[in-house]
């Protein structure tokens, strides 16, 4: 009886779990140092940097470091030149993996990220999210949703872009979920452009409900053309939601293979 495939599979799983443990340990150990730097930046720049641009810039490089130093993952970003640093956007992206937010920081563009409230409780990393004034959201809580809208509108008025995952959560299959209307309501209320993004490949890097790595993974982030408010100011929000979802869905690998 040939047991080689079984043995090879066990070795591969053990290797991937070992890599996962090393990576997670590296993240938390380095986070002690980086959080202290973030705290120092926050304390010294807060009086003159109301939008916390310098702190977010540091946070972007903190996140990027883990992608740059982790050999099993490679990332390609296309279309950065479409982002005007002097324009405020509502940024929307599909959502496949925990890796997505690390990848999105590679835009090196200023934004406030809307995230589930649980992530703010993570020591060091969550504390840094609070320092950055990222927007927390308790799913299914109407009061939290109203507060989220208020915070996002304030950030947009101050000139900070808002980043949301309209699906609300990750899909285990990689197929896109329906988009919620919140991002599109914000864009219409504040008359700011919508910036659609497409992430491919991150599901394989770190699937939902798993901290085990799945070998080598290549992730691609594409920045699509911004959509000006003049193009959707009179459009019913439900039609806008469906239109942007289809625009992104057409470019997601898993959606193409499912056709």
**pLDDT at residue 168, rounded to an integer:** 85
User: For the purposes of burial, counting CB atoms within 10 Å of the CB of 251, is it exposed (0-12), middle (13-18) or buried (19 or more)?
Assistant: middle
Share of the chain above pLDDT 90, in %: 69
- Per-residue burial over 34-56, b = 16 or more CB atoms within 10 Å of its CB, e = otherwise: bbeebeebbeeeeeeeeebebbb
Tokens of 64: 């990027």
Domains of the chain with CATH codes? 4-258 (3.40.1130)
Tokens of 202: 């991150």
Q: What does the pLDDT average to over 7-26?
A: 78
Higher pLDDT, 97 or 34: 34
pLDDT above 80 (res 11)? no
Q: Shortest CA distance to 166 belongs to which of 190, 197, 188?
A: 197
> How many other C-beta atoms can be found within 10 angstroms of the C-beta atom of residue 243?
16
pLDDT above 50 (res 1)? no
Q: What does the pLDDT average to over 34-50?
A: 97
Distance of alpha carbon 54 from alpha carbon 48, whole angstroms? 10
Chain segment 215-249, per-residue pLDDT in tens: 678 999 999 999 999 999 999 999 999 999 999 99
């Amino acid at each position: 009886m040939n047991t080689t495939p079984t043995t090879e599979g066990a070795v591969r799983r053990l290797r991937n779990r070992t890599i996962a443990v090393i990576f997670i340990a590296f993240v938390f150990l380095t986070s002690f140092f980086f959080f202290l730097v973030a705290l120092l930046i926050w304390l010294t720049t807060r009086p003159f940097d109301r939008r916390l641009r310098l702190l977010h810039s540091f946070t972007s490089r903190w996140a990027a470091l883990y992608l740059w130093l982790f050999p099993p993952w490679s990332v390609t970003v296309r279309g950065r030149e479409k982002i005007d640093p002097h324009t405020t956007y509502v940024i929307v992206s599909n959502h496949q993996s925990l890796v997505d937010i690390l990848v999105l920081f590679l835009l090196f563009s200023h934004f406030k990220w809307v995230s589930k409230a649980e992530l703010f409780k993570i020591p060091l990393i969550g504390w840094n999210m609070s320092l950055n004034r990222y927007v927390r959201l308790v799913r299914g809580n109407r009061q939290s949703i109203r507060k989220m809208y208020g915070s996002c509108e304030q950030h947009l008025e101050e000139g900070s872009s808002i980043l949301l995952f309209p699906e609300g959560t990750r899909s285990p299959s990689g197929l896109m979920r329906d988009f919620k209307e919140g991002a599109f309501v914000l864009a219409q209320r504040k008359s700011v452009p919508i910036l659609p993004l497409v992430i491919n490949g991150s599901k394989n890097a770190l699937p939902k409900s798993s901290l085990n790595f799945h070998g080598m993974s290549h992730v691609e982030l594409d920045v699509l053309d911004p959509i000006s408010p003049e193009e959707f100011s009179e459009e019913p929000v439900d039609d806008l939601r469906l239109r942007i979802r289809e625009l992104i869905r057409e470019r997601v690998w898993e959606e193409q293979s499912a056709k």
